Structure 1
Amino acid sequence: MSLVIKTHKPDPVIAPYVDSLWMLHNPDKEDKKVVVLPDGRIDIFLSQSTSESFHITLHGLGTEPGQGLIHAGTLTFAISFNLPAAEYILHQSVTELVNKVGGLPNTFWNYTVNDLQHFDDFCAKTTRQIKSLVPADPDTRKLQLFELLAATEGNISVKELSEKVFWSSRQINRYFNQQFGISLKAYCNILRFRASLQHLSEGKLFPEQHFADQSHFIKAVKKLTGVTPKELFQNQNDRFVQFSAMKSD
């Protein structure tokens, strides 16, 4: 049996900060090995399995493929955050969590194990919580910066970003390194890769956008996944996953 997946689009009020809410369940009696691919998001997981008690974790940005194990019976409800959420919703830098997982108290945002019983209720509770934290006066330059990055899927220069949001290139690069632990260039590479996944899943193994040529495309894919575009397309045993790009069953 394959993994059971459900996704929920965020309320428009929280959309600048939340990419998606989702649920992942491994109903099998055996653990499932996966390779987690970078997606340019930070995540909070609420999880429980037959071998692990209820716990909450914060997952930082990934810049490389991560080996994961989804334990038998695992049920996970999660929030995939857009990067502005680090500063405005979570109120913390995530520089120390690049390719790492940090623990959160099991009482975080008043969650309990009972919140894993109904996904729709979890989405409603989480939406209410994040709405209460949405700032009244965020730095519009930062929100516009991420809107442009999303709209162009990372295919934009720091010079153009700087001109459009009236924020110096030096300040933008410093902001990324100090707040998220990666460079703007590295983040753009992740966004370009994420945008190419749909093409790869359809067997289109040549770059359709955002990459200069085939060699640059292959190099980028191998750096972020550890395999070639062909191997990623074949995806034997559904071992490659990108959490925020998952689709409901």
Structure 2
Amino acid sequence: MENELKYQAIKPDKSLADFVESFWLLQNQSDCNREVVVLPDGRVDLFFTQSATEPFHVTLLGIQTQPGQATIAPLRQTYAISFNPLAVQSVFQTSIANLVDRATLLPPNFWNFSADDLNNFDSFCAKATNKIQSLLPLEVDNRKRTLFDLIYASNGAITIKELAAQSFWSRQQINRYFDQQFGLTAKAYCNIIRFRASFQHIKEGKLFPQQNFADQSHFIKEVKKLAGVSPKELLKNQNERFIQFSTLRPT
């Protein structure tokens, strides 16, 4: 992969930590298509892309609930922002419920970005940081902030009943919020976060559940549901097609 795909990621400024998971770049440095599988990870991704055969374009990808096939075109360069769902209402000021497992093209001048902004990753991150900071509200609903803090702190291994008790929202309100804003249930989102927390363990060859799965059978079933393959096949990562595994760094 090192010879074909270049990957780099940085964490956001502390002021954005609740809203932005990371800024990252991915470049296909070869003159061949690269077929990859993108796994559900609970993030909302904003891509700024161009290649030798594609004009500059901006794409918003909603939360994925199943593995997605993707082709990285030759010499394609993508700079991206991975958002936590808490950012959606503030940054995009709209629901993304219709973007479950799909993406939509945004105007090519979105946020006043252009192809020139893909020449320097640090400059891109600085410009994006300033723009996102300008969009954030002065106050964020503490119930929503608490909700996601609890989900991430538990790696998704928390019940909706526990979320309701600790965030002071009813279960109905929590599920309505997830359904209307993101297009899936709170439980489904928690399962995705628990699955994501297993990535590093599986890459290290730990093929028994390290997170809060009922048993080995349940673990395998959930991995197959969200990855399309068993934990053992994920570990093999044949042809490094599972892009998130290929970009994982040792802990």
TM-score by length of 2: 0.96
Cα drift, residue 242 of structure 1: 3.0
1:118 aligned partner: 120
Name the amino acid aligned to 2:121. Answer: F
Post-superposition CA distance 1:187-241 (Å, at most 9, x none): 0110000000000001111101211100000000001111010000000111002
Q: Cα gap change, 1:57/1:246 in structure 2, threshold over 3 Å: closer, same or farther?
A: farther
1:18 equivalent to 2:17? Answer no
1:204 equivalent to 2:222? Answer no
Cα drift, residue 100 of structure 1: 0.4
Distance 2:115 2:149 in 1: 35
Name the amino acid aligned to 2:83. Answer: F
Name the amino acid aligned to 2:192. Answer: I
Other structure's SS at 1:46 match: strand
CA RMSD of aligned residues (A): 1.3
Name the amino acid aligned to 1:41. Answer: R
Q: Cα gap change, 1:247/1:88 in structure 2, threshold over 3 Å: closer, same or farther?
A: farther
Cα drift, residue 246 of structure 1: 4.8
1:102 aligned partner: 104
Indicate if the aligned counterparts of 2:95 and 2:180 stay in contact, CA closer than 8 A: yes
Name the amino acid aligned to 2:71. Answer: L
Distance 1:171 1:221 in 2: 28
Q: Report 1:67-146 matches (<5 A).
A: 67-146=69-148
Indicate if the aligned counterparts of 2:61 and 2:99 stay in contact, CA closer than 8 A: yes
Gaps (5+ residues) in structure 2? none
User: How many residues in Structure 1 have an aligned counterpart in Structure 2?
Assistant: 247
Distance 1:188 1:166 in 2: 18
2:7 aligned partner: 5
Indicate if the aligned counterparts of 1:41 and 1:80 stay in contact, CA closer than 8 A: yes
| Identity percentage of aligned residues | 53
Post-superposition CA distance 1:20-79 (Å, at most 9, x none): 000000000100000110000011000001111100000011000101000010000000
Gaps (5+ residues) in structure 1? none
Q: Cα gap change, 1:115/1:246 in structure 2, threshold over 3 Å: closer, same or farther?
A: farther
Cα drift, residue 2 of structure 1: 3.0
